[in-house]
Amino acid sequence: MLHVHITTLVQLLIASSATASSFDWSSTKYVYAFGDSYTFVQGTLGFPNFSFIGDVLDLAFTPAQILSDEIIPRNTSSEGSNWIEFLTGCLGGSPTKCEKQLWNFAFAGSDIDPTLLPRHHNYTTSLVEQVAQWAEFASDVLPHPDNETLTFWWIGINDTGDSLNNASITDFAAFWETEITSYFNAVQLAFDHGLTNHVFINVPPEDRSPGSVGNPTSAANLKNHIALFNAALSNHSASFATQNPSE
């Protein structure tokens, strides 16, 4: 059954034909995550301070490697356990030993698509590449039974910031539409490989962060970028749910 949710810091929007009451977190045993530094966890086989496993220069891994990889506790961008670890209770060690197994393919510094915005580093794994990595090397190895699996997506903080002073972008509404189309092409790939229940987290108000409030012009531009990004995310999530109806 397909569930699609968009979540903000204050609300959960149901974007599918399934009702909110049909979702049962207690039955979730497998959690997948894609995104950037706000979501990544460090793995023993990951790029140091960036990922659980691999990087874009070395995406491949064997079944034995992914199943032996372990989460290094408190090694995140939060300088401690992060939100997805607290949510699942999977704080360290092998995900296979957690009550809710956390399989986290997020990469710190990631944007959605390197053909649209430049990588932060030559080894940065973008969102579309995270999903491609999972689909090729992990989807047939890691369990994801439909009624026990939930996938979290949180991306866009880097994209909205990185594009702020990008003079090559002249039509931001069109740009975000292109970006979110690429985003949901990746979501569709994940769906086609068995990840059918999704939570999409949108971009929070970065314009109110300490680094932005001192520059009202930049903050106003960033606020507009975020609004356009989040609107496109909302529209595409609704379309995705319609195109992939619950069985």
pLDDT digit string, tens, across residues 175-188: 999 999 999 999 99
Enclosing H/E stretch for 151: strand 149-154
**Residue 14 above 70 pLDDT?**
no
DSSP 70-96: -BPTT-STTSS--HHHHHHT--SB-GG
| pTM for the whole structure | 0.92
137 CB-side CA count, 13 A? 20
pLDDT, the chain, mean: 92
Q: What is the mean pLDDT of residues 82-107?
A: 98
Enclosing H/E stretch for 211: helix 210-213
Lowest mean pLDDT among 8-12, 119-123, 147-151, 234-238: 8-12
Q: Are 191 and 236 in contact (CB under 8 A)?
A: no
Cα separation of 91 and 85, whole Å? 5
**Residue 12 above 70 pLDDT?**
no
* Helix intervals (H) in 69-171: 83-88, 127-137, 157-162
Beta bridge mates, 200? 6, 153
Q: Which residues contact 97 (CB under 8 A, 6 or more apart)?
A: none
Q: Per the structure block, which two tokens stand in for 106?
A: 């997020």
What is the structure's pLDDT at 212?
Answer: 86
Enclosing H/E stretch for 225: helix 216-243
Neighbours of 87 (CB within 10 A): 15
Q: Are 81 and 93 in contact (CB under 8 A)?
A: no
Residue with tokens 């399934």: 18
State the Cα angle at 104 between 199 and 99, rounded to 5°: 85
- Domain 3-243: which CATH number of 2.30.110, 1.10.760, 3.40.50, 3.30.870: 3.40.50
Q: How would residue 5 be classed by pLDDT, with cut points 50, 70 and 90?
A: low
Cα separation of 65 and 59, whole Å? 12
Q: Per the structure block, which two tokens stand in for 20?
A: 């909110």
